[in-house]
Structure 1
């Protein structure tokens, strides 16, 4: 029996926004787990401290407005809706915090964020990268195939850094940079990992997911596979996973920014430059 999801009318979508809102509301109701947002906040603060500039009109786009309102009281905090509640040219800093992976149109999210910037304003996006939860994804897939003979979407797709970095340029931002950090996390078992994801509001909200509860036999088998394939080296009784966090940075174009020379405009040939190098 195949576990393939049912057919849907209309254009394909990544995210069921109703389900995503429901998952986030449940997380807030049971006590939201914000440790990943706190990690991202600290990382962004470190990066901003290295920039010789004071930002006076920041904005944050996020699916966790309560955390970011408390973290950045001076910022305008808006939800990650398809149409962002940001006015053009009003902010010198826009942060897109841990929500871009749920966007049906990530380029559109970046373009709207870029339009909200003043000239030479800074954009920073943080989102999960391709290696995030890879052992969990593999364990769920193997367990479902073994039990049902089919496969259904369970974890949102996460992009590669080289592909995500290209989005910054496509959004019209200058001086693009993409880099990545990896955070290792350890859990007692599969059940505690699942509880943490639920408390983060990050459980399955894919539009093409199955619309009925997962069989217990699939979950038990996935737990076994995860324990076998992702043991914590420091404590083999636990499981360990990696979270790849990709940071995308770009600046709203401005006349005072450095710009590359036009091809053919150099006044010294490469051969001449090399010949002048000191042995």
Structure 2
């Protein structure tokens, strides 16, 4: 019997966060974009390595447009989509069009409630033998921020950061979703910060904030001060904190038989 996936994330908050991020990216010339840029560069290198030259590609979540523009220029048909905007796609529903020989998903999958279903829909949207690469922040991300947030509320900490998928869980999910030749790996992106406020701003500018279904109450002024102090307590000798974004990559194919 089919079961309803747990509602961990709020779809409304997820879309609002995405729209706010897109607005900041459009208005602020120096808005942080390093997580997306890292993903685009990584996917481009992977495509070159496997010598996959798609003719019909679908790119989901690349608001920069750089992957389609610079790495998929030979494709005859490139569709770009997002969870908001003019070309909207719901990753938790069957895709409106199939037959793609390449699909890239940049971010987005770490905050869907039905991740197994989303992975099945991606496979079904591929042409036989088609390739999909999905990337998003995974387990191990933002350890310094997590420690600072816990220090802000030592007695009764509220849920302010969502759970993240690790490599083992991702591998199991790909097998359940029927991906052929599944591969899961991760790499760390390290960024240096002089303050907690700059890290929080970078997260907001990249749409990486909290979109949990149950919103936690705002931190008190005292809690914010404790978080700031706990963050800087983890600084190196030069007074800067090295924070880690652990980027998880899922890749695989649809079988040549189209199953």
Are residues 1:248 and 2:257 paired?
A: no
2:231 to 223, 226, 234: 226
- Alpha carbons 1:179, 1:246 under 8 Å: kept: yes
Secondary structure of 1:59's partner? strand
Task: Tell me the number of residue pairs that the alignment of Structure 1 and Structure 2 aligns.
Answer: 237
Are residues 1:76 and 2:79 paired?
A: yes
2-structure distance, mates of 1:99, 1:196: 17
Q: How far is the alpha carbon of 1:84 from its aligned partner?
A: 4.7
**CA displacement, residues 13-66 of structure 1 (integer Å, 9 cap, x when unaligned):** 11112112222222222335322111110011001001133111111222xx53
Secondary structure of 2:207's partner? coil
Change (3 A) 1:52 1:30: closer
Gaps of 5+ in 1: 1-9, 257-279
2-structure distance, mates of 1:86, 1:70: 23
Q: How far is the alpha carbon of 1:123 from its aligned partner?
A: 1.1
Aligned to 2:183: 177
Aligned to 2:134: 125
- Alpha carbons 2:185, 2:248 under 8 Å: kept: yes
Aligned to 2:21: 27
Aligned to 1:91: 100
Larger deviation, residues 109-118 vs 46-55:
46-55
Aligned to 2:63: 66
Q: How far is the alpha carbon of 1:71 from its aligned partner?
A: 3.4
After superposition, the CA RMSD in angstroms is 2.2
- Alpha carbons 2:5, 2:114 under 8 Å: kept: no
- Alpha carbons 2:6, 2:113 under 8 Å: kept: no
Gaps of 5+ in 2: 26-30, 70-76, 84-89
- Alpha carbons 1:144, 1:218 under 8 Å: kept: yes
Q: How far is the alpha carbon of 1:142 from its aligned partner?
A: 2.4
Aligned to 2:122: 113
2-structure distance, mates of 1:179, 1:26: 30
Q: How far is the alpha carbon of 1:228 from its aligned partner?
A: 1.0
Are residues 1:209 and 2:212 paired?
A: no
Q: How far is the alpha carbon of 1:101 from its aligned partner?
A: 0.7
- Alpha carbons 1:101, 1:156 under 8 Å: kept: no
Aligned to 1:41: 40
Q: How far is the alpha carbon of 1:96 from its aligned partner?
A: 1.6
Q: How far is the alpha carbon of 1:76 from its aligned partner?
A: 1.5
2-structure distance, mates of 1:14, 1:33: 27
**CA displacement, residues 140-159 of structure 1 (integer Å, 9 cap, x when unaligned):** 012212xxx21211112112
Aligned to 2:52: 53
In terms of Rg, which structure is larger? 1
2-structure distance, mates of 1:213, 1:82: 30
Secondary structure of 1:86's partner? coil
Q: How far is the alpha carbon of 1:170 from its aligned partner?
A: 1.2
2-structure distance, mates of 1:88, 1:170: 22
